[in-house]
Amino acid sequence: MKVEKCELTNGIITVRPHRSSDVRPCFEAVIESINELSPWMWWCHGAYSLEETKTWIESRPDAWENGIEFSFAIIDSKDGYFLGGCGLNHINPTDRVANLGYWVRTKRSRQGVASAATLLVAQFAFNELRLNRVEMVVATENKASQRVAEKVGALREGVLRKRITVRDHIYDAFMFSLIADDLGGNPENADNT
């Protein structure tokens, strides 16, 4: 399925596909947030490098074109400041399900950024990808990500034992889910702005 790249906004934040100009701002956001991200994100570690950021961002167009992942930068709509990332991965086209992940730089956490981005990307999942379900798999110890899932109205369905591995740590995880009805109706009526 061919999915056009798009920008989505609520007027406060914008989510858009990553650009080559995001390499330095993304790297700086990760470095700023390494203490908060590294326990939960396998890719975030003490020696995280600019080259890792560059390689990842350069891989985003192919992942999008092939329908493997739909990754978005989270940007402040007023000043263009790089706030973090969110996206859909582990896409199951048969059952029309995907995982939704998010992270926000430390300086801008606890300001509703992750929740707003999650809602925009979930609407994209239902409207553009025609998914039936969006899942958020969150380590039981990751209170910040749990708050985001709860704030957007995701249903906590249960605990998945030993579900997440981050380097040498294995975590149980909560399974949260959203369906289009959770966002106020069917996908055709969801508002993308």
Closest CA to 73 of 92, 62, 86: 86
Dist. CA 119–CA 132, nearest whole Å? 15
Could you give the C-alpha distances from 51 to 1, 8, 24, 61, 115, in angstroms and in order? 31, 28, 10, 17, 29
**Contact 130/155 with Cβ under 8 angstroms?**
no
Question: How confident is residue 7, by pLDDT bands cut at 50, 70 and 90?
Answer: very high
The residues spanned by each domain of the chain are 8-189
User: What secondary structure letter does DSSP report for 27?
Assistant: H
What average pLDDT does this structure show over 7-27?
97
Per-residue pLDDT at 191 exceeds 60 = no
What average pLDDT does this structure show over 123-148?
97
Condensed to tens digits (0 to 9), the pLDDT of residues 92-111 reads 999 999 999 999 999 999 99
pLDDT value, residue 192: 35
Condensed to tens digits (0 to 9), the pLDDT of residues 23-75 reads 999 999 999 999 999 999 999 999 999 999 999 999 999 999 999 999 999 99
Task: Say which CATH class 8-189 falls into.
Answer: alpha beta
What average pLDDT does this structure show over 115-133?
97
Question: How confident is residue 189, by pLDDT bands cut at 50, 70 and 90?
Answer: very low
pLDDT value, residue 1: 59
Dist. CA 129–CA 193, nearest whole Å? 17
Condensed to tens digits (0 to 9), the pLDDT of residues 136-185 reads 999 999 999 999 999 999 999 999 999 999 999 999 999 999 999 999 75
CB proximity list for 61: less than 8 A, separation 6 or greater: 17
